Amino acid sequence: MKKLNIVSSSMLFFCISVQATEFNIYGQGHLSADNLDDSLYVTSSSSRLGFNGSYVIDTDLKVIFQYESGVDLTGQGGNDGNGGAESSGQIFTKGRPSFIGLEGKYGKVLIGHMPFLDQWANDYNLFADQVGDLGNLWEASGVPGRSDNVMYYKTPRFSNVDIAVTYVPEEGKDNSDLLLFKANYNLKHLKVGVAYTSVGQGINADNDHTAAAVTVGYTHGRYTIGGGFQLENDIAGLTDNDRETFNVGASLKVGANGKIKAQFASSTSDQSESDASQFAVGYDYNLAENTVIYVAYALMDNDENVRFSVNGKGHGDKVVPAYGVDPSVFSIGIVYQFNYGLLK
C-alpha cells in the first residue's frame, strides 16, 4: 500500500507539472530567387527555428521563455537576413529573439536578446523580410533592429493601451546605454504606435543618437492601409546630423487566397545629396494555411552621397550598392511556417 501511495503521488505530481507547462517548437523557412541588377541570387531570408513556452507558478504568475536561432537554408551562412554572423557553411547562424522572464497581472518582465527598433519598424511593414523591407531605410542610420543584453518591461493593457520600456546597460562602456519607450493603442481595426529612443554613442560623442516615431495601421474587410514617420537626431552623435523618414502602404485581398500590396518610403537628410526613396509592389498567394508564395519588385532611388540597399534588413544576400547607384530587384519566393505544441 505504501508503494502504491508513492507511485500515485508521483503520477499526480507529474500530471500537475505537465498541466502547468506549455512547450512549443516553431520555425519558418523563407527561400527566394532574386534578380538584382541582372545578377541572380538564391536566398534564405530570416529563416528560423525556435522553442518557447511557459511554466505556471500560481494563478497570477508564470515563467515564460523563448530560445530562437537564425537558420540559413542555403548553407552559405552570415548574409541570411538574421543580423549577420560569421557562419560560413553552417545552417544555424545568428541568435534571434531569446529570453527568460515572468508574466503576471502586473505585466511582463524579460531579459535577453530582443527587438529594439524592430518594435516599431514592423508595426506596418508589408514587405517584412522581403525585398523592399522598410528596414532598408528605417534601420540604416545606426539604431539597432535587435539588441543584446536587453531588460524589458511591458504593462498590462489598460483601455486598449500598453506601454513597454526597453533598457540596454553600458556594461563598462560609459555613455553607451540604450533606452526605448514604446506605447501601443489597439482598437478593433486600428493600431497606433508611438516610440522614443536614445542610443548612447560613447564618451567621445557630443550627443546621444535619438529617434522618435509614430506608426498607424488600419484593417477593414479586404484591405489594409498604414504608414509611419520617424525622426532621427544627432545620428552617430554628430550635432545636426538628422534624418526624417516616412512610409505609406496599402494591401487588398484578391479572391480567396491572394493579396496585392504596395509600399513607398522616403528618407531625407540635412546632409547634401543624401536623400533616398524606396518603392515596392508585390503579390502574395496562400497555398495553404502555413505556406505563402510571392512575387515582389522593389527599387531604391539613392542620391549621390548615399548607398541604401533595396534587399537588406530581413532579406538575405544583401547587396550594398555604390554611392548614387539605384538598385532594383525582382524576387520570387516561398515562406513556410510551423508551430507545434508538444506540451499544453
Min mean pLDDT across 7-21, 257-271, 292-306 is at: 7-21
- Residue 13 pLDDT greater than 80, yes or no: no
CA distance 294 to 49: 22
CA distance 344 to 330: 42
Share of the chain above pLDDT 70, in %: 94
Residue 57 lies in a domain: no
Residue 14 lies in a domain: no
237: region left, alpha or beta (phi > 0 left; psi from -120 to 50 alpha)? left
Residue 176 lies in a domain: yes
CA dist 26 to 23, 53, 70, 129, 216, Å?
10, 11, 12, 18, 29
Query: Average pLDDT for residues 300-315, to the nearest whole number?
Result: 96
Q: Which structural domain, as residue segments, surrounds residue 246?
A: 35-41+103-343
Residue 28 lies in a domain: no
CA dist 190 to 59, 120, 226, 245, Å?
31, 15, 10, 22
DSSP label of 236? G
CA distance 136 to 276: 10
Considering Cα of 222, then 229, then 168, then 308, what sign does the dihedral take? Answer: positive
3-state secondary structure of 121: helix
pLDDT tens-place string over residues 126-139? 999 999 999 999 99
Contact status, residue 45 vs residue 316, Cβ threshold 8 Å: yes
pLDDT tens-place string over residues 193-252? 999 999 999 988 889 999 999 999 999 999 999 999 999 999 999 998 999 999 999 999
- Residue 16 pLDDT greater than 80, yes or no: no
Q: What is the CATH number of the domain that holds 269?
A: 2.40.160.10
Residue 3 lies in a domain: no
- pTM for the full predicted model: 0.90
- Total domains, the chain: 1
pLDDT at 17: 53
Residue 60 lies in a domain: no
- Residue 330 pLDDT greater than 70, yes or no: yes
Query: Average pLDDT for residues 104-118, to the nearest whole number?
Result: 96
Residue 173 lies in a domain: yes
